[in-house]
Structure 1
């Protein structure tokens, strides 16, 4: 009786240890939920910051944006457990069961009461107005 020594259809005896670990990691971790980063662009204007963040596959209700102590946090969570069923409720194929993202940005000098956010076509847009700078006050010097 012959046994096939090729787990995951790979011959591990012909691989270096680093290749073996990398391939095993791909196989093992492919079943776990993904945590991805949020791709963002931040532009500084004279009176505000403008930020766009890519959140494809999320809905507006799945997104949570907070600003506290100079830290802007963007979190989004998707739970797709009820997708991809046929008429009898059997799962046909499920490749996206759960995903979440979270990113924290340090952005100071923001008027937190005036932050505006909108979400369209998988892109979160934020406008973060700056606090007014203290204006220079000219002080008159008198004699005496």
Structure 2
């Protein structure tokens, strides 16, 4: 039953093979990408983590980054704005809209006050300094 509910598959392949470009079905967007489709590279140097995340086609105002201890959450919201005119109609639209997010855990807590984010050409670059551990031990008073 689940196979009947998904788009694409056998019939799409059949029509693509028989008459490519002839069969154009009027769809409005495919499903949202999986969270794993936000591709990330995580690098570590002595005092920080450098993260590169591919989030193409999303304005920087619609990208949200949250850091909670050592957990980083990336969230992107894609908005689809439809515009139509009398002399044209949409035959197929494969661009999706909605929100997708991805969270991952790093080995050490992040110093949120020093964290930086930059978005350029569809790539989000995060510089996340490691939180320095308290040096020395603290003596507890025994009651």
Tell me the equivalent position of 1:106.
105
Q: Deviations over 1:109-128 (max 9, x none)?
A: 21011110000000000000
C-alpha contact 1:110 1:130 (8 A) present in aligned 2? yes
> Tell me, what secondary structure is at the counterpart of 2:33?
strand
Q: Which stretch shows the higher mean deviation, 59-68 or 120-129?
A: 59-68
When structure 1 is superposed on structure 2, of 118-127 and 69-78 the one drifting more is 69-78
Alpha-carbon distance between aligned partners in 1 of 2:6 and 2:118, rounded to the nearest angstrom: 38
Tell me whether 1:96 sits opposite 2:77 in the alignment.
no
Regions of 4+ moved over 2 Å: 20-28, 30-33, 87-95, 133-137
- Provide TM-score, normalisation by structure 1: 0.65
CA RMSD of aligned residues (A): 2.9
Closer/same/farther in 2, CA of residues 61 and 91 from structure 1, 3 Å limit? farther
Determine the structure 2 residue equivalent to 1:50. Answer: 50
The TM-score normalised by the length of structure 2 is 0.66
* Separation in structure 1 between the aligned mates of residue 118 and residue 59 of structure 2, nearest angstrom: 12
Decide whether aligned partners of structure 1 residues 21 and 73 sit closer, same or farther in structure 2, where only a CA change above 3 A counts.
closer
**Larger Rg belongs to:** 1
Change over 3 Å in CA distance of 1:76–1:21 after alignment to 2: closer
Residue ranges of structure 2 left out of the alignment (5+ in a row): 10-26, 138-143
Q: How many angstroms apart in 2 are the aligned matches of 1:79 and 1:91?
A: 20
Match of 1:14 in 2: none
Between the aligned partners of 1:89 and 1:136, the Cα distance in structure 2 is: 73
Greater length-normalized contact order (CA 8 Å, ≥ 6 residues apart): 2
How many residue pairs get aligned? The number is 115
Evaluate the alpha carbon distance shift between residue 97 and residue 50 of structure 1 in structure 2; reply closer, same or farther with a 3 A threshold: closer
Shift of 1:97: 4.3
